[in-house]
Amino acid sequence: MVKNAATLGRSGVHDFVLLRASALVLASFVLFMVGFLALTPELTFESWHGLFSHTAMKVYTLVSLVALLVHGWIGLWQVLTDYIKPAGLRAFLQFAVNLVLLAYLFAGVVILWGV
């Protein structure tokens, strides 16, 4: 069996499961945030700060951010593999996408946890 080092999962089935799991996490986060915004009568800094001051919300947000990065990593890898045929250009674009996603992860950690 041929292994591809560029995929996040170990195989196509593993990537499929990761995509579906990350989509479920993202959907639950979006529904939670839409519910919070709809049910908060007046959205102020205090209410927003109160929501994100809880450790559980920080963890939930971080898990959602990681799910977004996994989803983006696999999805963009598939798109680049399908539509960018020159290997050098595809490798460069995959590298650039990975750098941007890692920058998003580090920025998210700093914003959430103030590290």
Residue 60 counted as an annotated binding residue = no
Residue 54 counted as an annotated binding residue = no
Query: For the residues of the chain, what is the DSSP string, one character each?
Result: ----TTSSSSSHHHHHHHHHHHHHHHHHHHHHHHHHHHH-SS--HHHHHHHHTSHHHHHHHHHHHHHHHHHHHHHHHHHHHHH--SHHHHHHHHHHHHHHHHHHHHHHHHHHH--
List binding-site positions: 71, 83
Annotated binding-site residues for a ubiquinone read 83
Annotated binding site for heme: 71
